[in-house]
Amino acid sequence: MENCTFHCKPIHIIHSVCDNIDDIKAEDWEEIHDGEFGFLGTSEYKITVKDKIIFQYEIPLNHPQEQDLNLNDLEGRILVREIERLPFKQLSAFYDPKVEDYEPEAINAGVAYKFRGIIFQNNNTNELVEYELDEDEFYDLERYFEYYFIKNGEPERIYI
């Protein structure tokens, strides 16, 4: 294992569903996953060694390692994602140079928290620990919504 820096954007996502565009505009949706894990993970990360990027990844919706969000159950409905995300944070870690890629091993509701070939120095595991916000960081918080129509188990992005 060799030293690296793991750059990630801690993220919190609440998933809800609704039936049509009018429901979106009225914010009339049903919560299906409340993001009870707080800022425990990321949807976007990169790994650097001596300021050189060796791996970069953005987790797509409906990732094969997804453990909690089954889009087939939402067929014909609209998935609403309320997202709160912080700017990139840097974590000291070790990486295994023999690993071909450093994709997530575990994803819960669109948020990756466990990574192949990575050991974080703060807890000596391959899992991120929940990120605790400082009071000042609430001002850095990016908050937005994404909407997806689910057809044949696949998400199709809707722009409102």
Phi, psi of 128 (to 5 degrees): -70, 145
pTM: 0.82
| Residue 4: pLDDT band with limits 50, 70, 90 | very high
How far is 14 from 82, CA to CA, in rounded Å? 5
Q: Is beta strand 52-58 parallel, antiparallel or unpaired with respect to 154-158?
A: unpaired
Q: What are the tens digits of pLDDT across the range 14-36?
A: 889 999 999 999 999 998 865 55
Q: How many CB atoms lie within 10 A of CB 1?
A: 12
CA angle 119, 124, 130 (to 5 degrees): 90
Instruction: Give yes or no for residue 42 having a pLDDT over 70.
Output: yes
Instruction: Give yes or no for residue 67 having a pLDDT over 60.
Output: yes
Nearest to 33 by CA among 75, 72, 76, 67: 67
Q: Give me the mean pLDDT over the 90-94 stretch.
A: 95
Q: What are the tens digits of pLDDT across the range 102-140?
A: 999 988 878 888 999 999 998 999 998 877 777 777 777
